[in-house]
Structure 1
């Protein structure tokens, strides 16, 4: 029954999204085809869960690999098309497609889907702002994608309320709906992760962690009722707990790193400092306090992406500055025509030399 409902989601909301993607074409359609492949991979996985008990972890990871590979392809497409005129479209999908990782979340996967949907709406709002007066198809496209994930959330809430349901006596969780107060704590336990404060890029690492193998269970521990905000309202008033630092800590507040070297950490890619038309790209800089943008024009935008422990000075007057997924960074600028934005950043600072329009 749950597989049929998932197929209805593909034939209904997702099909409408695909039709709008075809009308826009280009990079939007290319990435949308990868999205369709990801949903098709997941429905094949659900067909397995509907006809067999939960297999050993190694076998389950093998079953999940096709979906994981499609998610990675979607995100890589965005990274390799950063100069695309549809970059915000690509980002909206890339940031929210980890919603398909709900199969690895328990005991409440539906809220996780919603959180991924909300993450993508940061970029769909940008698309709406840019295109609402130019082409209404882009407005419809945004609404269609948000609707796909909303329907996915509703599906998960109805058929997999407390986690992915397997057939037979070996299922990992009780079938929904759970009787209040009667259901034993469902194994496996929820990972010790603060989803509310997790950076978006770390959310997208969900399937990458699945592919680590059986060692991933070393970082799991039980989440008790007093640690859950919906059961302990006092937690909502308290400040967010500081992330525990480890030798290979993960950006974005993941509590514990996996034992594998570099698992979930920011990718150690070559640093980038270049001018691409009207955009200055400063990416993957680490421990560099002497970054300077000079000879910029008023219509230029400075984009700083996934930098750590670095400082940027922007001399002259530019249109705007964006810091995206940066940690422990600072930016100093003389004059801005438009605005400065901080997206998914931690411990960042700014200093205005002359003028910032409010």
Structure 2
């Protein structure tokens, strides 16, 4: 029964996760193969446990080694692909895959699985934030993986409540299985497929080898063909006329702005506040320390968060304010305009990305905060004086970079003294 319950997870939500990972492709698909091998290794381990009595500590380590090796491979894969566009996907799996280590936890392994599921939530939230408006497959990907660990927790609670159950009257466990084969290398792309390209390359090199003669075939642009010398060319429709429909780059279309009804919902540990307009009485109350508040496309609104939670994200908001007590992790502003925040207690990190206009009001307890900004402007940090007033400091936006021979580059802040 124990093995069959685990196989139900493998054949259910895990299979769905593997299928969607294959559809996404790239690093996500490659990492999912390692995940499959990790679950296969645990399946074989559980079969041994249901047939044999508990071995000694040294033997147990050997039987757990295949699963341990696969978990390590998954985590190393994330570290080797930090520049991947799917880094948040890789991190979500890397942070939560240790849930398979429940077999070593006693007397309460089920809460351990839940803890690992929660550990990956920070990154699954980022996946949802980045992709939910672009591609629904990534939303389904998150749901399938979270469901896999949720069902794993239920399985452990039902069949192994106080720890891994071994057969009471079983024989000695068989020798540990040999380690699995490494994953196959990525396919090599045949650049010559589809015909002989040597003739095309020869023609290309012949063109390049012309040197300065390559420009002889270009048509000279006369004065009457230049808009700054011929005013008549400036009449008529402007060449920069706004496009009324989404711009298409190849086969990828830029999503058009979608107006949706406002929503204020709680989905598990996530508080979703979306499309609010002109609302200044929004309050998040009763949140727990592992909860996340995610605001999306809110305009001219104010949200107050009471208590201590994990993190807050403002995405594509305008003229919106956030007031909160304490955060465990960070508050993030992404693609925002004219936003404000005020912390009444403690916040470790503030992240500002692609945002124009951000007022940051600190509390005396948050003077050691780290503010990370990129591609942003008009950022000000207001530090309390102690008499109820604030001192305003502008975050630098302009930098000067020079070349240091033999050492690389040197970058310094250019202060605005205007």
- TM-score, with normalisation over the residues of structure 1? 0.50
**Residue 136 of structure 1: CA displacement?**
0.3
* CA deviation string 1:220-276 (max 9, x = no partner): xxxxxxxxxxxxxxxxxxxxxxxxxxxxxxxxxxxxxxxxxxxxxxxxxxxxxxxxx
Could you say which structure has the higher strand fraction? 2
Give yes or no for contact 1:335–1:353 (8 Å, CA) kept in 2. Answer: no
Report whether the alignment pairs 1:354 with 2:368. no
Structure 1 equivalent of residue 54 of structure 2: 54
Give yes or no for contact 1:17–1:141 (8 Å, CA) kept in 2. Answer: yes
**Residue 121 of structure 1: CA displacement?**
1.0
Give yes or no for contact 1:95–1:116 (8 Å, CA) kept in 2. Answer: yes
* CA deviation string 1:137-177 (max 9, x = no partner): 00000000000000000100000000000001589xxxxxx
**Gap runs ≥5 in structure 1:** 172-298, 300-316, 321-329, 340-351
Partners in 2 of 1:334 and 1:32 — Cα distance?
Answer: 32
**Residue 4 of structure 1: CA displacement?**
1.1
Partners in 1 of 2:50 and 2:166 — Cα distance?
Answer: 6
Structure 2 equivalent of residue 13 of structure 1: 13
**Residue 48 of structure 1: CA displacement?**
0.6
Q: 1:76 to 1:125 in 2, by over 3 A?
A: same
Give yes or no for contact 1:336–1:355 (8 Å, CA) kept in 2. Answer: no
Count of residues in Structure 1 that have an aligned counterpart in Structure 2: 197
Structure 1 equivalent of residue 341 of structure 2: none
Report whether the alignment pairs 1:27 with 2:27. yes
* CA deviation string 1:276-311 (max 9, x = no partner): xxxxxxxxxxxxxxxxxxxxxxx9xxxxxxxxxxxx
Give yes or no for contact 1:124–1:142 (8 Å, CA) kept in 2. Answer: yes
Trace 1:89-108 onto structure 2 (pairs within 5 A).
89-108=89-108
Q: 1:337 to 1:10 in 2, by over 3 A?
A: same
Trace 1:1-358 onto structure 2 (pairs within 5 A).
1-168=1-168, 354-355=394-395
Q: Secondary structure at the match of 2:52?
A: coil
Q: Secondary structure at the match of 1:46?
A: helix
Q: Secondary structure at the match of 1:85?
A: coil
Q: 1:335 to 1:73 in 2, by over 3 A?
A: closer
Larger radius of gyration: 2
Q: Which moved more, 1:79-88 or 1:6-15?
A: 6-15
Structure with the greater relative contact order (CA < 8 A, sep ≥ 6): 1 or 2?
A: 1
Q: 1:133 to 1:162 in 2, by over 3 A?
A: same
**Residue 354 of structure 1: CA displacement?**
2.6
**Gap runs ≥5 in structure 2:** 172-334, 336-351, 356-367, 378-391, 397-418
* C-alpha RMSD over aligned residues: 3.4
Partners in 2 of 1:86 and 1:28 — Cα distance?
Answer: 7
